[in-house]
Chain A
Amino acid sequence: MATGKGSRVSRVQKNTATLSAIRKAMPENAQALVLDMATDMGEQFAILAPRDTGSMAESTYVQAKDGAYQDGKPTSIGAIEVMARALNPDVEFTPLPIPTNDTTAYVAPLAKHYEYVEFGTRYMAARPTMATAKAIVRRNMMTKHKAALERVATDGRR
């Protein structure tokens, strides 16, 4: 706006193209971030989990809406069951529910006795390994997952 002799006309122009691209790419980037963090939680749990046969720790997986993952790679419940039974023929299984959206993922071992170990029984105190894994991932947010976080907020590329 002109304000007098020697004034400079300036104009602010909004560029919504980039913002629109970021918004459009956000669901996919958010999905990648969720999978990134869920994978990390599974890995931390597998490192910390108490082990006897190893069937609990090794059957840890991520259940996303589009399928199951182990170590960041697609897998199947059947494959995990075969692997866990090879370690412990008596192991029973409780599959995770399938999320109803792309930005939710569940992480836990397929082995049913996980809940006894994690939450405790009548005669055994809880051994909260997944809680510790969650705390580690929370702390890793601004380091290990920083790139994925930044992509959600800034990356409009597909």
Chain B
Amino acid sequence: MADSWNALGSAVYSRLAPYLGSALFDAIAPGAVQPPFGVWQVLVTDDEYKFGSTPVMESIDVQLRFVSDRDWPDRARAMYGTAHTYMQDAPLSVSGYRVLRCRRRGGKFQYMDTGNFWHVGAVYQVDLEAT
């Protein structure tokens, strides 16, 4: 399970960094990093087994979220919009797995947190088949 998460994280980073820069972090950005930046985080995984003890398929919900400190959410929205273009049905290259699907599955959100940072993002379902 941990292997698929790390492999998926590398794949997402490789896919998005050319368009959004290197400010994309796993789960949380370091405190010293200035917005805007992106965060990707595994939320939950559903495993499917055949006869062995290793899952043959993993369906992983991944959150992609972009954070901005502007007064309005436009920058976070723009970053998310770019990310969505490259994440929807993305041909991700996940080491050790074949990607069956990478698609937004609802859960689009926009909010301002108590520190006045805008967050814009969505949840993607990535289905992986072990190779």
Contacts and interface: CB of A to CB of B under 8 A. Distances in A.
Interface of A: 115-116, 119-126, 128, 131-132, 134-135, 138-139
Nearest to A121: B113
Contacts of A116: 111, 113-114
Contacts of A122: 29, 35, 67, 113, 115, 117
The number of chain B residues touching the other chain, given as a range, is 20 to 34
Interface in B100-117: 107, 109, 111, 113-115, 117
Contact of A126 (B29, B31, B43): B43
5 closest residue pairs by CB, A with B = A128-B43, A121-B113, A131-B43, A122-B117, A125-B27
Interface string B26-66: 01110100010001010110100000000000000101010
Nearest to B33: A122
B44 A121 contact: no
A138 B27 CA distance: 25
Contacts, number: 60
Contacts of A119: 63, 65, 109, 111, 119, 121
A120 B44 contact: no
Nearest to A128: B43
A21 to B, nearest CB: 33
Contacts of A115: 109, 111
B12 interface: no
A128 B63 contact: yes
A46 B61 CA distance: 20
Given A119-B63, A122-B29, A126-B63, 12 more contacts: A116-B111, A120-B119, A121-B119, A122-B115, A122-B117, A123-B28, A125-B28, A126-B27, A128-B41, A131-B61, A131-B123, A139-B46
Nearest to B111: A115
Given A115-B109, A116-B114, A131-B123, A123 B44 contact: no
Given A115-B109, A131-B61, A121 B115 contact: yes
A119 B115 CA distance: 14
A125 B113 CA distance: 12
Most chain A CB inside 10 Å of its own CB: which residue of B44, B61, B123: B44
Contacts of B35: 122
Nearest to B26: A125
Contacts of A124: 28
Interface in B62-79: 63, 65, 67
B117 to A, nearest CB: 4
Contacts of A134: 44
A125 B115 contact: no
A139 B119 CA distance: 30
